[in-house]
Amino acid sequence: MLIFSEFNLVENIFLSYYLCLVAFQQIADFGLVKLLEHSPEVGAAASRIVGTFGYLAPEYVRDGCVTTKSDVYSFGVVLMELLTGQPALSRDANPENDQYSEHRSVVEYILSALNDTDDSFTKLIQCIDPNLTHYDKDSLIQMALLSKDCVDDDWNRRPDMCKVVLRLSHILMSSQEREKLECSNSSLDIIVVLSTGHT
């Protein structure tokens, strides 16, 4: 009997997604979006910026425009954090000056890999958290593309959370189907080895 001791990438991400979503709902300022989403104007404007830098949608920082798609942007950042193991914003030492550090955004980090025209898959793999050792490559790509769609600069092109959940569900189901297929193929290999006595 085969016992799998490690979760695959999607199961790890869904568990982390659930935990992050619970924490995110507790610490995020959803009240601002709920307050302003009933405004007669599409994309109501806030008079001051509230939230954690690195998770704030660009239209919110730039114009004070708040929509439910602002939360989608923040969720995309959380997905990128899960994929990379990196915080939304980190400080890199400036090699030219020891006194100052430069901010590095996980969004820019992932987007630069996904937008690489030569070999985006290889660049993406280099961005992935080294602690994620066993994962389905198709699921990884789909998760990265979903996170990219969530952080689109144009809030009109971002998916709404219902579509995000549907895509996550599809990624999970596809991953589980591939895992079952791999398990059945492994079981057949073991049966063949046991019946023939050859390794």
Rounded distance, CA 11 to CA 47, Å?
Answer: 40
pLDDT at 72: 94
pLDDT at 7: 46
Q: Which residues fall within 8 angstroms of residue 22, CB to CB, at 6 or more apart?
A: none
CA torsion 135-152-112-80 (nearest 10°) is -40
pLDDT at 95: 56
Let me know if 64 is exposed, middle or buried by CB neighbors in 10 A (0-12, 13-18, 19+). middle
pLDDT at 67: 86
Burial 30-54, CB ≥16 within 10 A → b, else e = bebbeebeeeeeebbebeeeebeeb
Cite the beta strand spans of 48-99 per DSSP E: 65-66, 89-93
Residue corresponding to tokens 């830098």: 53
Rounded distance, CA 129 to CA 86, Å?
Answer: 8
pLDDT at 2: 38
Topology (CATH level 3) of domain 9-93+100-196: Transferase(Phosphotransferase); domain 1 (1.10.510)
Cite the beta strand spans of the chain per DSSP E: 44-45, 65-66, 89-93, 101-105
pLDDT at 18: 54
Residue 99 is given by DSSP the state T
Render each residue's pLDDT in the chain as its tens digit; 199 residues: 334 444 455 555 555 555 555 454 444 444 445 555 555 554 555 556 677 888 899 998 888 888 889 999 999 999 999 999 999 988 765 556 556 556 689 999 999 999 887 888 889 999 999 998 878 888 999 999 999 999 999 999 999 999 999 999 999 888 888 888 877 765 555 555 555 655 5
Q: Where along the chain do its domains lie?
A: 9-93+100-196
72 neighbors 160 (Cβ within 8 angstroms): yes
Joined tokens for residue 102: 């430069």
pTM of the model: 0.70
Distances, alpha carbon 14 to alpha carbons 87, 95, 143, in Å: 18, 38, 11
pLDDT at 25: 47
